[in-house]
Chains A and B, each alone.
Chain A
């Protein structure tokens, strides 16, 4: 067995559905690993399977999901064989998660104090008084200015940035080994986004915590994560070191995604952007062969029929060699 903190080999997730006789194949042959203290960036558009993968790691998929994997191991626990009682220890304890919209992730009827103490008591078995002290300390660690006042606040009294800091404080209260951050800054302003991402980065280094940072913004990944995997239609299309992938993408999808950002290169104002035509295929209309071929500029006849595997970190039989094709 490997020494990775989380090791995933050939993860497949299907969903049963009444309408379709064949189950929907949401995530295909996904393999990746993450080591202690490492950050992994995951980029993809909606429908690429990134959130479903996170839910699978958290054991939060609905009953209709069928999960299979050659290896799906977190910290020596085979996740697919866990009992409910063990899950309760791992979920929120060793693996924590923060969400896109901090406002809807907090319960609006309960004070920050109640919600934090509840979490800490559940995972650490501390007394109420100890839990309160730890809460103050955690709020201080995540950069909240007056922890005592904020502890008695209700979520509606917090700004978006502060609410996300509270969420992070709750997530790290159990000293998790792995933190999953699912689009943690999408709902926030740029200046606040920078504060939150810098906070996550410093927590990663200070606590030697692993982070999976999911985002649709390649800029965020480029600035904060050393490793990245790009997902498209339930598959990883490219994975590796962020710097190499951003400077010389091999997969046409990665390249197109980079180029279609308005700020990718300094252009004259109001020039037409090199966009990707069409949309991400829906779960029940996935094409044969390469998932990206209907939208790809470089499609050849052999892309359409055969199943394409991930080779040297790129799922393409005609990878780009000169990096960015403008």
Chain B
């Protein structure tokens, strides 16, 4: 029997993978992908809680989160394109113009 705990464990794993990806990736596209994983993890736990609490708010929230995620990716990709045009790279560690 799959219970609430399993879904929450799944969402925790997805969330951890996302955070790990953000910390370790040098490629900005990978970072953006990992950021999406964070939101996906929250979506899983929203739906799971919604199902086991027996009300629909959680499932409703997921639609709004998907919308926000799309907007975030759109802006993120635009900035990455800008970065590639100007700096000719999408490696995060090339962003070192400013320090201290």
Asked if A and B are interacting partners, one says: no
